[in-house]
Amino acid sequence: MEELAVFGGKPVREKPIFYGRQYIDQEDVEAVTKVLTADVITSGPQVSDLEKHLCEITHAKYAVAVCNGTAALHLAALAAGFGEGDEVIVSSITFAASSNCVLYAGAKPVFADINPETYNIDPASIRKLITPRTKAVVAVDFTGQAVELDEIREICKEHNLLLIEDAAHAIGTTYKGKPVGSLADMTCFSFHPVKTVTAGEGGAITTNNAELAATIRALANYGSQKKYVFKYCGRNSRLDEIQAAVLDVKLKYLVEDNAHRKEVGKYYIENLNNSIVIQPDTLPYEQNVFHLFPILVGEGKRDALHDYLEQNGVGTVIHYPVAPHEQECYKKEGWNIPQLSFPIAEKIADEELSLPIGPTITLEEVKQIIELINKF
């Protein structure tokens, strides 16, 4: 048997397969050129067009485009009125921005455990954590699969809580036939380079609440609703025309690109066959855009599989090597963030590995990845 690359053998590939890779084509270049030769390069017609198209995609009444996904979450937290003494329930498997936004606003994040089948926040865990100080829930559509919105919305309604949906992974995702972006009090999107749609950076908040939309728009513009008149102590979180122009082009191909992601995800599901690899339970394919394709690698072999695939020219990423509730930054004295144990989240942090997926990967490349994993 030929020696594997991880043990010094020859890699099966000369050209690497990236974990996630976007594409820039001539239509994007022309859109940027048009902005650069126009009269306005920030907060102009391209941003307005983008917001209009985001509303069409999400079925939300209002959309506010901002500079990145972290800013979107921060602005949502500020618009929600989080402050000292408030508690906000967040997921224990997510990027730091989902919980940092709570701290930015002066409140305290309270971590909840996750559903072991979907890796999304567990409604039962949310219920157990509600106190008189609970103000809201930040629910993350991890990997591109929507959270259990009906149950979480019912919990929020019962306890008079706001629901902020972190849909950084989930533009184009549907929940029971309805698009993500119009189903929570506020929904936050990210257009970072590894996200489903990107222009280098960018973000957005969608809502059906006119007052929240107006507050967010003002907060993103230094707190101003009228030039040089400041209603709030805001910040500069505006999106520029160049990024808006590229994003507007990319949104035209969202359905097509997401269909490709679903095809790749389906192929992984049907063909991965290694006893140490566990796949998450997913909603029907049409309800999951597969921003990520996560697997769990048992027997303590996650890192070995990561290295083996890298040796063979296949890029993978761990989401996330340290669960949020175990991050050092949340142990700061005085914050009094509960130091709880969440076995499911901790298991995922120890075993999760995200396989390559995205608009540029081919099924032939996916076949090669599967062959490598199946013989590992």
Give the chain's domains with CATH numbers: 5-23+253-374 (3.90.1150.10), 26-251 (3.40.640.10)
Name the pLDDT band for 3 (thresholds 50, 70, 90). Answer: low
**Which positions ≥6 away from 28 have C-beta within 8 Å?**
246, 249, 250
Q: What is the pLDDT of residues 49-102, one digit of tens each?
A: 999 999 999 999 999 999 999 999 999 999 999 999 999 999 999 999 999 999
Whether the predicted model's global pTM rises above the 0.95 cut: no
Average pLDDT value for residue range 99-125: 94
What integer pLDDT is reported at residue 123 of this predicted model? Answer: 97
Which uninterrupted H or E stretch holds 79? helix 69-79
d(CA 172, CA 372): 31
Q: What is the pLDDT of residues 117-164, one digit of tens each?
A: 889 999 999 999 999 999 999 999 999 999 999 999 999 999 999 999
**Which positions ≥6 away from 157 have C-beta within 8 Å?**
none
More confident residue, 23 or 375: 375
What integer pLDDT is reported at residue 337 of this predicted model? Answer: 76
CB atoms within 10 A of CB 277: 20
What integer pLDDT is reported at residue 37 of this predicted model? Answer: 93
Q: In a 10 Å sphere around its CB, with 0-12 CB exposed, 13-18 middle and 19+ buried, how is residue 178 labelled? A: middle
